[in-house]
Structure 1
Amino acid sequence: MGYAQLVIGPAGSGKSTYCSSLYQHCETVGRTIHMVNLDPAAEHFSYPVSTDIRELISLDDVMEELGMGPNGGLIYCMEHLEDNLDDWLDEQLDGYLDDDYLVFDCPGQIELFTHVPVLRNFVEHLKRKNFNVCAVYFLDSQFVSDVTKYISGCMASLSAMIQLELPHINILSKMDLVSNKKDVEEYLNPEAQVLLSQLNRQMAPKFGKLNKSLAELAAHVFQMSMLSLLFPAKSMA
């Protein structure tokens, strides 16, 4: 049985930095780990890549040959990957041992892990290949500085959790870049009534019922330990 970790989250949230730090940590402790790039638009890596989607398809080629933009081109690339799960991906996976640990550095286009089924089907394929899979969702802590951004981040995370149906943990990244950490700390163990009070101050009275539902849901999300880890922007090596 193999083990796989899907590293997901919005673009620029620190996914590749985390992958680099994780690889360096495993090297230090003598744990074998394989890094897999699933971003067809990636250019540079600070860790060795064992398997690279760009060997199958790259965003630059799609944009040049099909005249697509970056967003449509990325979706096209991932759907092409989905069409080649039984061929290209299986060939890559056959080279790993049963107890190997794979880390998939995923693209940052949020549609891929919220409502487009590509990554969900990818996960199901890994499970059929006898991999235990978990998801690590990154959220830039600089965007969790007020209640509206906080709620948006929670909803995006929850959407990915529901879509992928995996053991799931969220990480607030780039904590070392936050100028006033109290702006973030007050959301690490939120209470529904506090969130509701903040929302009601920022939004019109007609949104009162919606605010109450969102505040209670966000507080419940934290009770499930979805956003309980902090990670710096810089490598921890």
Structure 2
Amino acid sequence: MGYAQLVIGPAGSGKSTYCSSLYDHCQTVGRTIHIVNLDPAAEHFNYPVDMDIRELISLDDVMEEFGMGPNGGLIYCMEHLEDSLDDWLDEQLENYLDDDYLVFDCPGQIELFTHVPVLRNFVEHLKRKNFNVCAVYLLDSQFVSDVTKYISGCMASLSAMIQLELPHINILSKMDLVSNKKDVEEYLDPNAQVLLSQLNQQMAPRFGKLNKCLAEL
């Protein structure tokens, strides 16, 4: 059985930095991992890329050929990957042993892991190839210093958990950039009533029932 880690999260949340740090750590402890780039728009890497979606399709080529914008072009690239699972991906996976550990550095467009089925189908294909898959969701810790941003981040993470149906861990990234870490600590294990109170202070009274549902969720 192989092992795979799907690194997801919003754009700019530190996914590639996480992959680079994970690779350096494994090098230090003498463990082998293989990092896969699934972002057709990526250009620079701080880790060796063992498998690269750009060998199959690149965002620049799609935008130039079809006149698409960045978001539409990226969705097209990922759907093309989905159509190539039985060909390109299977051929790439043949290069790895049964006990290899693959880390997939994914693009940051949030719709890819909330409601577009591409990554879900990608995961199901890995499972059929006898890979044990987990998801790692990165969220910029600066989004957790305000109640409205915290709720938004939680909803996005929960949506990814529901969509992918994988063992899932959330990671707060960029903690070194947070000026007041006590603001973040308040949201690590929050009380629903405290969240509700904070939401009600920032929003009009007509949103009271909605705020209550969000805080409880």
The two structures have a TM-score, normalised by structure 2, of 0.99
Bigger Cα displacement from structure 2, 105-114 vs 195-204? 195-204
In the alignment, structure 1 residue 215 sits paired with structure 2 residue 211: no
Q: Report deviation, 1:33.
A: 0.3
Q: Report deviation, 1:184.
A: 1.1
**How many residue pairs were aligned?**
216
CA distance in 1, matches of 2:203, 2:177: 28
CA distance in 2, matches of 1:137, 1:75: 20
1:167 corresponds to:
167
Q: Report deviation, 1:66.
A: 1.1
SS in 2 for 1:95: coil
SS in 1 for 2:49: coil
Q: Report deviation, 1:145.
A: 1.5
SS in 2 for 1:23: helix
SS in 2 for 1:163: helix
CA distance in 2, matches of 1:28, 1:98: 23
1:228 corresponds to:
none
How many percent identity over aligned positions? 93
CA distance in 2, matches of 1:145, 1:62: 38
Q: Report deviation, 1:57.
A: 0.2
CA distance in 1, matches of 2:56, 2:146: 41
For structure 2, the residue ranges without an aligned partner over 5 or more in a row are none
Q: Report deviation, 1:181.
A: 1.2
Q: Report deviation, 1:144.
A: 1.6
CA distance in 2, matches of 1:86, 1:173: 34
| Residues 53-94 of structure 1 deviation map (CA, whole Å, 9 limit, x = unaligned) | 000000011111111110000000000000000000000001
Q: Report deviation, 1:210.
A: 1.1
SS in 2 for 1:183: helix
CA distance in 2, matches of 1:192, 1:67: 47
SS in 2 for 1:50: strand
CA distance in 1, matches of 2:70, 2:177: 28
Bigger Cα displacement from structure 2, 47-56 vs 199-208? 199-208
| Residues 166-199 of structure 1 deviation map (CA, whole Å, 9 limit, x = unaligned) | 0001111000001111221110110001101101
- The aligned runs of 1:74-153 (5 Å cut-off) are 74-153=74-153
SS in 1 for 2:137: strand
| Residues 96-119 of structure 1 deviation map (CA, whole Å, 9 limit, x = unaligned) | 000000000000000000000000
For structure 1, the residue ranges without an aligned partner over 5 or more in a row are 217-237
**Superposed CA RMSD:** 0.6
SS in 2 for 1:103: strand
CA distance in 2, matches of 1:44, 1:2: 27
In the alignment, structure 1 residue 44 sits paired with structure 2 residue 49: no
Q: Report deviation, 1:161.
A: 0.3
1:33 corresponds to:
33
